[in-house]
Structure 1
Amino acid sequence: MLFTNQQLRTIREHALSMDKERQITQEVLDILYDHRLFHLFVPDELEGRMTPLPEATRIFQESARIDGNLGWLVTIGAGGGFFAAMMNPEVSRGVFAYREAVIAGSGMPSGTATRVEGGYVVNGSWRYCSGSTYATTYTANAVIEPAPNRNDAVSSSAPGESEIRSFILNPEQIDILADWNAFGLRATGSHTISAVDAFVPDDMTFLLTETKGYERETIYRYPFLPFAQVSFAGVAAGIAEHFLEAAEVLAVQRGSSSYVIGKLEECKAALEQAMSVFYVTVEKSWEELLRVGGLSAETEAEVTAKSIAAANTALSCGQQLFPLLGLSAAMEDAEVNRCWRDLQTACSHALLRNFS
């Protein structure tokens, strides 16, 4: 069991107020800190609890089954540990090696950076930065503006391409625009962050394609796109499990028809089957990584396909059952309603959608 019974009660007791107030509580954050759940992909020597991806994904799923906001924030916060290998080791220690350390940020290169002596001046804004309200460090991608004299510029990009670099920003360099008004995952603090003329020294920047340390850690060799899809699929499944639990309680209370009960059982079985196939695929990919040091293109494609399929099955549970649960389920305070909203929101992420 991931949490003690008392911790489970605390999280569930805070779930409604977190949804209403659009903010995770300090009590719940302290539970996450105590279990080092933001450090699942941080090396042990940096006060992390390095965890194989299949095991971490089950943690994401269990966290999301308890509460969707919890699962999303654990997953996003833990994912920031991926950057430990891309930073200079001494910088990684300063960023990660303490109890409350957690990164919030965005992968979209929606900022610009100008080269100056000793570093860069960064400007821009970045949307959907989950965990923004309690992050201790922020990361953001920015396009490097051409230097006045290109002969003096150091660029890692190919001719004709824009160079994109990642920047490590401190809380005092960031402004938060509280614009996360989604109807689900309300407590994730997925707001827009912005920086104005923020100076970032050279050693506080990194490239997503360059490893600077901790090469022995297996997780850092897992391709980032399928890594993210696996993680998000685990969250979607956990929220769906919670939705099905809450739907069953409501259906029994309402004395629902055999059709509704039958549909509920169908959804349970479909989700269990999809997740069984999903975890077989994830486990096989992890074994391949351990065996040969990388994933084949075929394995990456299979991981992506099974992740999207699992998320689609989770989403289908909500789409099929929610309309059958009556007006009680339409009330925002209802547990099943919160789960349904969280499920819709999580599965709206671009990495879990399939337009083919």
Structure 2
Amino acid sequence: MGVITDLPEHRLPSPPEPGLTPEQVVARAEAMVPRLVERQAETEQRTYYGEDVHEEFRKAGFYRILVPRRYGGYEFGIDTFMRVAIALTRGCPSTGWMFCLGAAHALPAATVFPREVQDEIFASGEFICPATVVPGGTAERTADGDWVVDGTWGYCSGSPYATHFMGHAMVTPEDGGEPEPMMFIAPRDQWTRLDDWGHALGLKGSGSHSIRITGGRVPDRYTIKTHMSQIDVREGSPGRALHGNPEYGGGQLSFMVMEDAVLAVGMAKGALDGYEDLMRTRTTPFPPIVVRSQDPDFQLRYGKAAGLIATAEAATMDAIRQWREACAQGPAAVTHEHELRLAAICAEVVSLCWRAVERYLFPTAGSSAVRRGERIERVWRDMSMFVTHAGVSTFLATIAKRDLARARFGVADHG
């Protein structure tokens, strides 16, 4: 991220390791990959990664990557965060998913909320906040202008160790009219995590439990009267002004879909790792009987998959670069068209990764390698679940691409 401005009115707390570098934190994540591979089965059984893994992530500084320095975070930027997410997902898709979708929302919180709110939600220096984009439940005004929230929100990935929850509720505008979405942050003491995860096809250990709020009190200052994907930062943002860092003024829609891209890349790289092990240890099923790495057909399949995944990773890294460059250019550069163009890149990244796994790796790994609990079998299940996610199958696959064309040609949305 950029250089933080001098803030004499607020004494900056030091993070636990003041000298920690982005390269070191990424290396820590990459070093964890073998252990995460070994613990995939227990993670699925538990439905979230273990307390000891959570503590290791905490000590490694992962939960502070996107937290502003003002609050004892490392403020390393989204490139470091995304590289860590890829590494963890490569080792265990469920673990990477749970970490990414829990810790990522420090960035939107530090971007769109005013200083008063940030002083409160970042008080501990760590921020784990699952977020859902589908509005649900109800929110009613109190006499003092705050909100009473009730409802249940599903697929709250990252909820087991969360400090907050970011959701949406439909509310009727004060001047009347149709209900509109309102984004809110609910502190941990205002909600309950339900024990309802682990029965889906894949991502069984992703901590994607439902969150229930019953009579929860949410201060009005913890709300934004729009949907997260509709936040416009072209006139600046509270975070850019508060932290003196352009990355706290970036596009929220594009940041959100880049999470999909890095998770897809991490999963596909894990599948390729598993396939490489088979290439080195298994033989061909038909004569000539040789180690698979010596067989032209297996060489071709590996090479095709590796090329698709490498292309997807390169596209992801360039999308991150474009996002950061737009931030650096200034608020006016973060246009709706720019965000949708990055979303289009992310859609193709997911497609490339899925093609590598579904077309080349899973079908040719061999029946013994896709038995329940085998690494490639698990990645196939996880990615099969992933591509049904509404953010991928609906938004990235269709809506984002149509909206990109509309934005480019100035076509009004008549839907």
TM-score for both structures, normalised by structure 2: 0.76
SS in 1 for 2:135: strand
SS in 1 for 2:73: coil
Structure 2 residue aligned with 1:195: 213
Query: Does residue 1:22 correspond to 2:47, yes or no?
Result: yes
SS in 1 for 2:113: coil
Structure 1 residues 285 and 24, CA, compared in 2 at 3 Å: closer, same or farther?
Answer: closer
CA deviation after TM superposition for structure 1 residue 48, in Å: 1.8
Query: Does residue 1:97 correspond to 2:136, yes or no?
Result: no
Distance 1:46 1:339 in 2: 37
Structure 2 residue aligned with 1:228: 256
Residues 156-200 of structure 1: CA distance to partner in whole angstroms, max 9, x if unpaired?
xxx624243233323333232333322222111111111122222
Structure 1 residues 339 and 203, CA, compared in 2 at 3 Å: closer, same or farther?
Answer: same
Which deviates further from its counterpart, 123-132 or 75-84? 75-84
CA deviation after TM superposition for structure 1 residue 297, in Å: 4.3
Query: Does residue 1:71 correspond to 2:96, yes or no?
Result: yes
SS in 1 for 2:153: strand
Judge conservation of contact 2:258–2:346 (CA < 8 Å) in 1: yes
CA deviation after TM superposition for structure 1 residue 137, in Å: 1.4
Distance 1:263 1:299 in 2: 35
The counterpart of 2:315, out of the listed 267, 274, 277, is 277
Distance 1:297 1:332 in 2: 43
Alignment of 1:100-179 (within 5 A): 101-118=127-144, 119-145=146-172, 153=174, 160-179=177-196
The counterpart of 1:348, out of the listed 375, 378, 388, is 388
Structure 2 residue aligned with 1:249: 277
Distance 1:70 1:309 in 2: 24
Distance 1:74 1:187 in 2: 11
Distance 1:315 1:206 in 2: 35
Structure 1 residue aligned with 2:350: 311
CA deviation after TM superposition for structure 1 residue 313, in Å: 0.7
SS in 2 for 1:244: helix
Distance 1:276 1:7 in 2: 23
Letter in 2 for 1:44: R
Q: Which has the higher contact order (CA 8 A, sep 6+)?
A: 1
Structure 1 residues 299 and 138, CA, compared in 2 at 3 Å: closer, same or farther?
Answer: closer
Structure 1 residues 92 and 297, CA, compared in 2 at 3 Å: closer, same or farther?
Answer: closer
Structure 1 residues 295 and 212, CA, compared in 2 at 3 Å: closer, same or farther?
Answer: closer
SS in 2 for 1:108: coil
SS in 1 for 2:211: strand
Structure 1 residue aligned with 2:296: 258
Judge conservation of contact 1:10–1:28 (CA < 8 Å) in 2: no
Which deviates further from its counterpart, 121-130 or 193-202? 193-202
Which deviates further from its counterpart, 240-249 or 252-261? 252-261
Structure 1 residue aligned with 2:364: 324
Structure 2 residue aligned with 1:150: none
SS in 1 for 2:334: coil
Letter in 1 for 2:312: A
Structure 2 residue aligned with 1:149: none
Distance 1:243 1:249 in 2: 10
Residues 46-78 of structure 1: CA distance to partner in whole angstroms, max 9, x if unpaired?
122223333332222222112212221232123
Which deviates further from its counterpart, 288-297 or 58-67? 288-297
Judge conservation of contact 2:48–2:94 (CA < 8 Å) in 1: no
Extract unaligned runs of 5+ from structure 2.
1-25, 285-294, 402-415
TM-score for both structures, normalised by structure 1: 0.87
CA deviation after TM superposition for structure 1 residue 124, in Å: 1.2
Q: Between Structure 1 and Structure 2, how many residues are aligned?
A: 346
Identity %: 25
Structure 1 residues 239 and 51, CA, compared in 2 at 3 Å: closer, same or farther?
Answer: same
Alignment of 1:28-47 (within 5 A): 28-47=53-72
Judge conservation of contact 1:41–1:219 (CA < 8 Å) in 2: no
Letter in 2 for 1:187: G
Structure 1 residues 254 and 271, CA, compared in 2 at 3 Å: closer, same or farther?
Answer: same
Query: Does residue 1:301 correspond to 2:318, yes or no?
Result: no
Letter in 2 for 1:303: L
Structure 1 residues 340 and 107, CA, compared in 2 at 3 Å: closer, same or farther?
Answer: same
Distance 2:121 2:321 in 1: 30
Letter in 1 for 2:147: Y
Letter in 2 for 1:351: G
Residues 222-278 of structure 1: CA distance to partner in whole angstroms, max 9, x if unpaired?
222211111220111011011011012124322135323321111101221232234
CA deviation after TM superposition for structure 1 residue 145, in Å: 4.7
User: Whose strand fraction is larger, Structure 1's or Structure 2's?
Assistant: 1
Distance 2:111 2:29 in 1: 32
Structure 2 residue aligned with 1:86: 112
Distance 1:4 1:313 in 2: 24
Distance 2:343 2:384 in 1: 20
How much is the aligned-residue C-alpha RMSD, in angstroms? 2.5
